[in-house]
Structure 1
Amino acid sequence: MDISRKTDYALRMLAALVRDPSGVVSVRTAARENGVPYSFARSIQHDLAVAGIVENARGANGGMRLSVDPRQTTLLTLVEAVQGPVAISCCSNPAGDGEPCPKRPTCHFSPVWCNAELLLRAFFSSVTLHELVCEGRSPLFRGTFEVVGDEEARAAARLDRADAPGTPSVPEGDARA
């Protein structure tokens, strides 16, 4: 999985909104302060507005403002709002058609990719925008890994997905679990 340049820029622009005491930042200012080309910043602002992350503030001191609570909005939510579902392989949904890869049941590597995706989603969902920007906190994985049989790995991938559709399970010891 690659974090796109667009996502990187969007996160920087959102951080500027969280840091600004007024809560409103012009797109031009956010672009300039974060090294984002202005035309690209306008496109990002539009996409963030469509996703419901920001809203436009009109007037002399207009710009954009957050329309979500940064204390409740996870990094996973923001990344997926900009670049779509966090996925590291085509195993779970290769063409975006809702159907997993037909080779998944017999593939030796599918459990690895699917479980890695679950870990990445849990990692991104374990921290909020406020924690990252205002508190200077970042997630740190301190768990361990073990090699298990294919069936156990497949079962774990299915169980984690079934626990909370759309919400990744969080590694043991996380306060949000």
Structure 2
Amino acid sequence: MLKLSRLTDYAVVALVRLSAADGMETSPGIAASIGVPEPTVAKVLKALAGHGLVVSSRGARGGYRLGRPLSEIAVSEVIMAIDGPIALTSCVDGAVGCESQSLCPVAGRWDPVNNAIRTALSRISLADMEAASIPVAFRVPVSASISEVV
């Protein structure tokens, strides 16, 4: 199963939360609003700042804000900021790490699949991930129980 890391999931949630903030938002404030421990949020924000997805400011009025609008941040950028390059297998793009690479009948054949996934993820912005962009017919009320949804 292809699965994003928990930190990448938290990063997307934190970025969407930051988009709703007026001005700067602190790491503890973000943590409290999204229900994730503050040290984890701080780690995620530091990685996002390192890639220019958020801007940090120190001081009494310091905190974090988006580096650019959600519509200009692709899901692929968040994944790469937190987890590194998008690669389905260790041999994608000539990376070293598979001891069977010289004998593998599909060596190098994963590149087109990996490129398709990268392209798809680069076409989805975080604005597309906001609840407001989900058609009303597909929204699940927060108070709905699982039995009501299914």
TM-score by length of structure 2 reads 0.73
Could you tell me how far apart the structure 2 residues matched to 1:108 and 1:37 are?
A: 42
Structure 2 contact 28–38 (Cα < 8 Å) conserved? yes
Residue type of the partner of 1:24? M
Could you tell me how far apart the structure 1 residues matched to 2:35 and 2:17 are?
A: 12
Number of residue pairs matched by the alignment: 131
The alignment partner of 2:31 has SS state of: helix
Deviation at 1:40, TM superposition (A): 1.2
Residue type of the partner of 2:16? A
Residue type of the partner of 1:72? E
Equivalent residue number for residue 129 of structure 2: 132
Structure 1, unpaired ranges of 5+: 139-177
Could you tell me how far apart the structure 1 residues matched to 2:96 and 2:85 are?
A: 12
Structure 1 contact 53–66 (Cα < 8 Å) conserved? yes
Could you tell me how far apart the structure 2 residues matched to 1:115 and 1:103 are?
A: 19
Equivalent residue number for residue 6 of structure 1: 7
- Which structure ranks higher in relative contact order (CA pairs < 8 Å, sequence separation ≥ 6)? 2
Could you tell me how far apart the structure 2 residues matched to 1:51 and 1:24 are?
A: 18
Structure 2 contact 101–107 (Cα < 8 Å) conserved? no
- Identity, % of aligned pairs? 26
Could you tell me how far apart the structure 1 residues matched to 2:130 and 2:115 are?
A: 24
Correspondences of 1:64-83 after superposition (within 5 Å): 64-83=64-83
Deviation at 1:74, TM superposition (A): 0.8
Q: 124-133 or 82-91, which moves further after superposition?
A: 124-133
Residue type of the partner of 2:112? N
Note the alpha carbon deviations across 1:104-144, whole angstroms, 9 max, x for none. 8x723642x22221221122111111222265259xxxxxx
CA distance change for structure 1 residues 118 and 61 in 2, over 3 Å: closer, same or farther?
same
Equivalent residue number for residue 16 of structure 1: 17
Equivalent residue number for residue 106 of structure 2: 108
Could you tell me how far apart the structure 1 residues matched to 2:12 and 2:44 are?
A: 10
Correspondences of 1:1-177 after superposition (within 5 Å): 1-20=2-21, 22-92=22-92, 93-95=94-96, 103=102, 107-108=105-106, 110-111=108-109, 113-133=110-130, 135-137=132-134
Could you tell me how far apart the structure 2 residues matched to 1:52 and 1:91 are?
A: 28
